[in-house]
Each structure stands twice: as C-alpha cells, then as structure tokens.
Amino acid sequence: MNERVAIVGIGWSGYRSKSADLSYKELIYESAVKAYADAGVDPRKDIQSFVTVAEDFHEGTSIFDEYTPDQLGAALKPVHTITGDGLHGLATAYMLVKTGQFDIVAVEGHSKASNILTLPEVTAYAQDPILNRPLRFNTHFVAGLEMNRFLFETGTTQEQCAAVVQKNRRNALNNPKAPYGADLTLEDILSGPVLSWPLGKRDSAEHSDGAIVMVLASESTARHLNDKPIWILGMGWCNDSPSLESREWGELPYIQKAAQIAYRQAGFRNPQGIIDFAEIDDTYSYKELQSLEALGFCLPGEAGILTEDGATEVDGELPVNASGGSLGMGHMIDATGLARALEVVLQLRGEAGLYQLEDVNVGLAQSWRGIPTTSGAVAVLAN
Amino acid sequence: MTLLERDPKSPLTWSGNLPVTSRYTFGLAGEKFFRAIKDEGKIIGSYCKKCDHTYVPASQFCEKCLAEVSDWVDVGTIGELHTFTVLYEGYDGARLVQPEIVAFISLGDGGLIHRLGEINLDEIYFGMPLEAVFLPEGQRQGSILDIRYFKPAG
C-alpha cells in the first residue's frame, strides 16, 4: 500500500507517581475513550484491529495479553499484544495499516509501575540467568558501566549529564502531565545519592503510572476523520546482540541503525536541518546525550557541550524533551516510547500548551527498552 | 481527572505472588566453558576463523556470520578493564552498606562481568590488567561464582 499513514486520535490518562484510585483497566479505558472521541471513531464499529504493549512480569499476570481487549472496545476484534517498547507497538500498528487490510487501527501502552512491589528483582530477572544473575547485582550496574565507558570514550562529563536532568525537570514544570517537575541546580543533582557511580540517583528517572492510546488511519480515511492528521514519515527499530559480553559499551549502534531505517523511509539521510525537535530516551541522563549522538544530530562527544550551551533547551536550535522527558514525566516502563510519540504529536498539532514550540513541522521520537536491553526504536512524524 | 471519586487514602487492593524456579541448560559451549573453569581453572573462548573473532564466554556459533564455531582457545585468566562502576544498591533495591565495584573485563574479543576485589578505587584505570581469582578446586561447582572476583594482575 502506498498510501501514507496518520495518527488521527490521541488519548492519555495520567501521569502520576501513584494511581491508587484506578485499576490498570480504568487507566486504559480513560485513555481509549479520549482517543476515540478525538479521532471521531466508534471503536465497536470503526476500529478494525488493535495492538497493545505489555510484559507479563510488569503486569503481575501470566498471558497478560488476554486481559487487553475489553477496556479498549476490542472484544471480538483482531487484537495482539507485543512485548517491547511502546514505539514498537506504534510500528506494529503502522504496519497493520500499511498492509492495506485495515483502515483504522488502535495502539495502547500503559504503566502501573507503582503496583510492581519488587521491580528491582523483576528487572534483575531479565539478566542472563547463567552468566550474570548469579552475581546478584542490582541491574542499574548495566547503566553504570555504560555511562562510565561513554564518559571515557567521548570526554562527556557528569556535569553535562546533570545539565540534562536540570533541563528536563525544568521543562516538566510547564507540563501539567508531568509529576516530577523541579527547578534544581547542577549542585543539587551532582550532590545527590549515588546509584551506580558515575550514575547518580537523580540521573535516573522515577516511574509514573498512566496509559496512552493512539488511533492510526490510512491517508484516505484520515483525511475525512481529522483536520490535524499527523503523518508517520518513517519508523525503524533495531536490536543488538543482548549479551553483556558482546555488546558495545560506549555507543548505541542499535539506535543508529533504527534511525537510519526511519530516515531512509522518510527520504533523508541526515536529520540536521530537517527534524525541528525531538522527544528521546532519557531513562538516565547520559542516555539523552548518547542517543542524540547515535541519532546523528551531532558527533560523539558533542551532545554534552551542546546541552551545556543550551542548544537542546525549548528555545534552542533543537529542543529535546520539551515535555520534560522521562526524567520530568516519569518512566512509563513499556509505554515510555508511546509517551514520547504522544508529545511529538501534541507539538505538531500545536496543542502542547505552555511548552508549545514555535514553527515545528517535523519531529522525532526515540525509545530504548531499558536495562538490560539493547532494543530501540525511532519514529519520524510530521504535520 | 480521575474516573472514580472516592477516598484515595483507602483504596482496596489484593496482593499476589508466584514462586518462579527454572532450570537453565548451559548447552554445548556453556558446558565446555564452565567445565574448564571448574576442572582446570581456565577461561576458554571459541574462535571464528572467518570473522577472526574470539568469543568469550565460548559460543557454539558466530553471531556475526552465523557459522558454527569449533575452535576452542584458552584466553588466559588475565584480561583488561573495559569499564567499571561502583554499585550502591543491592539486588532488591536496598542501599548497600558496602558498595561493590563491578566491571566488564575484556578477554579475547568478549569478556566477563564480575566484581573486583583486592583493589582500591583510586588505583583503577581503563585498560588496567585484571586477573581472575578462582575458588579452590574442590569448592568449584561449574558456575560464574567459581570465579570469586578479578584483582589487579601482577
């Protein structure tokens, strides 16, 4: 199918550090009805297929995908759940429309992180069971190793990483969806408790609860559904060898490859001068810098300097995580990439409110699946 | 913003858990690798001729060209520090009383994740030679824990 694909509806619930009043189904329901109203579709009649993103261990329920249809209006419809980040879910929904078999498809991602009472152990269970897990290290060690090598190879400093935290948490003060807005000094960030040196606790995003639903449609359908369709120009994802023993420690070749795939589909090679703003992975402060370099916005070692110079501020040359990112909005586990994509859509529609950027036409969303993985995805969106 | 309006201080919840116990098979290469550690105090890798790449830990196949790899090589017990971190939280997220130094030690074209011992933080540098310290032969069981830690070599 040569028709383009657009995001025609968005809905969200949250984000909050805790959501003791609502079940995950209610969080999803709230997001779904908003997204369907936004797109002007009846889920029971109009939406032909549904994609959700979830991990059984994060949900605390085996075969969790069986629990997804009802709150989405997807019972007795084609539904499938994929494991991966929310952007992998968006890519899957995009492909479903691209097959030409479905005109309208919905994608859902959510986080009920506050209900995972043993998250460190759940994450540690993702370590290699024979080579790594017997050592019984908290999984943040993977980020500590990666950050230290990244700083060593590129000359990036802990202060430059702290500048990412400062920027994103300040940006979050303008975003009513963001629970972790704060005006911190670099000293506040650098003097915080250590997590896995050189990684500080304040370099690491807290979690939040919430849900996101998007409705996608083929071009001809999108045109009469919505006067503000946001076009998917390209989507790429890539997985490196997962083993800690054979991966790169200082750079992100899988993000580089995912970006190349997305850029090729969108018809360009170099994002500089084409992408107006980006919402990217900042699970840890250094990841924003490492990702900017992998995405081709600058050379290795330059992202920290550009950040210190203000180039990634809301009024800078390339605003990055104007929403506050995961550091400001909270990490949404499997839904994180969908949260980044949602912010790109809001900016491209001109609906970002206090943190609306001026004159933006092309935006990029990028995600990483988190420790200890080597999976990432990139989306290029335009209005 | 919320669907339900009720006292947020008294939400009803149910807690559940699950005992998860699994067996993990070492496989052909894993068995060679761990038997060499257990029986000989050696670290072995596997060499792909086509890619000129030595996998440590040993692998039965080359992830670059996907050929089967059958040349086993002793890579010695001294590697180089590739990167390290000082970990302040434990497996369950609790603060550690004694932070641990964790490193990736390069061996062949791969390496191992392990803790460092007999070392002061201020003497650590990228590229420093590190040597595996094994448990005494009779105590080794064929696991990554047969290596107690890595220490500065020489």
The pLDDT of residue A348 is 98
Locate the chain B residue with the closest alpha carbon to A199. B85
Return the CA Rg of chain A: 19
Mean pLDDT to the nearest integer, B123-140:
97
* Pair of tokens at residue A382: 């335009």
Contact status of B93 with chain A (Cβ, < 8 Å): yes
Q: Decide if A20 and B11 are in contact by the 8 Å CB cutoff.
A: yes
Mean pLDDT to the nearest integer, A121-145:
98
What DSSP string runs through A190-249?
A: HTSPEEEETEEGGGBPPB-EEEEEEEEEEHHHHHHH-SS-EEEEEEEEEE----TTTS-S
Residues of A in contact with B15 (CB under 8 A): 117
Q: What is the pLDDT of residues A47-106, one digit of tens each?
A: 999 999 999 999 999 999 999 999 999 999 999 999 999 999 999 999 999 999 999 999
Contact status of B143 with chain A (Cβ, < 8 Å): yes
Percent over 90 (pLDDT), chain A:
97
Q: Decide if A145 and B57 are in contact by the 8 Å CB cutoff.
A: no
Q: What is the pLDDT of residues A11-47, one digit of tens each?
A: 999 899 999 889 999 999 999 999 999 999 999 999 9
User: Is B8 a residue whose pLDDT tops 80?
Assistant: no
User: Is B2 a residue whose pLDDT tops 60?
Assistant: no
Contact status of A349 with chain B (Cβ, < 8 Å): no
Mean pLDDT to the nearest integer, B97-126:
97
Residue A165 phi, psi dihedral angles, 5° rounding: -60, -45
Q: What is the pLDDT of residues B14-27, one digit of tens each?
A: 999 999 999 999 99
The pLDDT of residue B6 is 55
CB contact set of A135 (below 8 Å; sequence gap of 6+): B102, B113, B114, B115, B144, B145
Q: What is the dihedral of CA B25, B29, B33, B36, to 10 degrees?
A: 110
Name the percent of chain B in helix, strand, coil, to the closest 5: 15, 40, 45
The residue whose two tokens read 């850029």 is: A263
Contact status of A132 with chain B (Cβ, < 8 Å): yes
Q: Which helix (H) or strand (E) holds B104?
A: strand B95-107
Residue A96 phi, psi dihedral angles, 5° rounding: -60, -45
* Pair of tokens at residue B43: 């670290």
Mean pLDDT to the nearest integer, A180-205:
98
Residue window 246-305, chain A: list those with CB within 8 Å of chain B.
Answer: 246, 249-250
Cβ distance B55 to B108 under 8 Å? yes
The pLDDT of residue B150 is 98
Q: Which helix (H) or strand (E) holds A368?
A: strand A362-368
Instruction: Tell me the HSE value of B105 on the side-chain side, using a 13 A CA sphere.
Output: 29
| Mean model confidence pLDDT for chain A | 97
Length of chain A, in residues = 383
Q: What's the CA gap between A290 and A374, in Å, rounded?
A: 13
User: Is B1 a residue whose pLDDT tops 50?
Assistant: no
Q: So what's the architecture of A5-117+207-225 in CATH? A: 3-Layer(aba) Sandwich (3.40)
Phi-psi region of A186 (alpha: psi -120 to 50; beta: other; left: phi over 0): alpha
Q: What is the dihedral of CA B22, B28, B32, B35, to 10 degrees?
A: 40
Residues of A in contact with B84 (CB under 8 A): 145, 148
* Pair of tokens at residue A302: 């330059």
CB contact set of A344 (below 8 Å; sequence gap of 6+): A230, A277, A279, A363, A364, A365, A379, A381
The pLDDT of residue A54 is 96
Q: What is the pLDDT of residues A147-159, one digit of tens each?
A: 999 999 999 999 9
Residues of B in contact with A71 (CB under 8 A): none
Interface predicted TM-score (ipTM) of this complex, two decimals: 0.94
* Pair of tokens at residue A137: 């290290």
3-state secondary structure of A159: helix
Locate the chain B residue with the closest alpha carbon to A176. B1
Cβ distance A48 to A215 under 8 Å? no
What letter represents residue B109's amino acid?
Answer: D
Contact status of B125 with chain A (Cβ, < 8 Å): no
Domain positions in chain A are: 5-117+207-225
The pLDDT of residue B5 is 56
Q: What is the pLDDT of residues A319-370, one digit of tens each?
A: 999 999 999 999 999 999 999 999 999 999 999 999 999 999 999 999 999 9
Distance (Å) of CA A175 to CA A31, A164, A363: 18, 17, 18
For residues A245-280, b (16+ Cβ closer than 10 Å) or e, as one string?
bbbebbbbebbbbbbbbbbeebebeebeebbbbbbb
What letter represents residue B140's amino acid?
Answer: R
Contact status of B137 with chain A (Cβ, < 8 Å): no
The pLDDT of residue A226 is 80
Locate the chain B residue with the closest alpha carbon to A116. B15
Helix and strand numbers (H, E) in chain B are: 1, 8
Q: Decide if A21 and B4 are in contact by the 8 Å CB cutoff.
A: yes
